């Protein structure tokens, strides 16, 4: 039995990019850190919230690279002579990536009580009807 890829199906013309997106998402590292929520805030609005306890605004970066929202965190080294008897608060660097659909843009980002909120908005799609003229052969 031959496996048919999504882009090779005869009714799905031009969806090769979707297949690559699904493969890239399946290969992404999902180590669980930092934990996050995704909320729908309205018909065309979303919010991603990451728990980033111990990180300051200067320790975080938010970029959009090739339709991917990339959130990175890296804390400065703590070499001030502290000795931990127990260290339960993670201080490791991280990178979280979220693939954005066409028309989804980052609207805002804010820190509040150890949580990083990234608000996304989606533009309304244009509803266009196109009539194609048939030319004589």
Q: Of 120, 98, 92, nearest to 36 (Cα)?
A: 98
Mean pLDDT of the chain: 84
Range 76-112 burial, b when 16+ CB lie within 10 A, else e: eeeeeeeeeeeeeebeeebebebebeeebeeeeeeee
- Give the 3-state secondary structure of residue 42: strand
* Dist. CA 122–CA 66, nearest whole Å: 17
pLDDT digits (tens, 9 = 90+) for 11-28: 777 777 777 777 766 666
pLDDT band at 89 (very low <50, low <70, confident <90, very high): confident
Contact predicate 33/92, CB 8 Å: yes
Q: Where are the domains of the chain?
A: 32-78+85-122
pLDDT digits (tens, 9 = 90+) for 41-64: 999 999 999 999 889 999 999 999
Q: CATH class for domain 32-78+85-122?
A: mainly beta
């Amino acid at each position: 039995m031959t496996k048919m890829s999504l882009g090779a199906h005869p009714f799905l013309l031009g969806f090769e990019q979707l297949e690559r997106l699904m493969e890239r998402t399946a290969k992404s590292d999902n180590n669980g850190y930092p934990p996050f929520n995704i909320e729908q805030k309205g018909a065309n609005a979303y919010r991603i919230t990451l728990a980033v306890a111990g990180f300051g605004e200067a320790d975080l970066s938010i970029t959009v690279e090739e339709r991917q929202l990339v959130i990175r965190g890296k804390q400065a080294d703590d070499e001030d002579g502290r000795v931990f008897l127990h260290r339960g608060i993670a201080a490791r660097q991280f990178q979280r990536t979220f693939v954005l659909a066409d028309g989804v843009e980052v609207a805002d980002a804010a820190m509040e009580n150890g949580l990083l909120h990234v608000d996304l908005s989606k533009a309304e799609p244009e509803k266009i009807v196109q009539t194609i003229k048939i030319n004589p052969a």
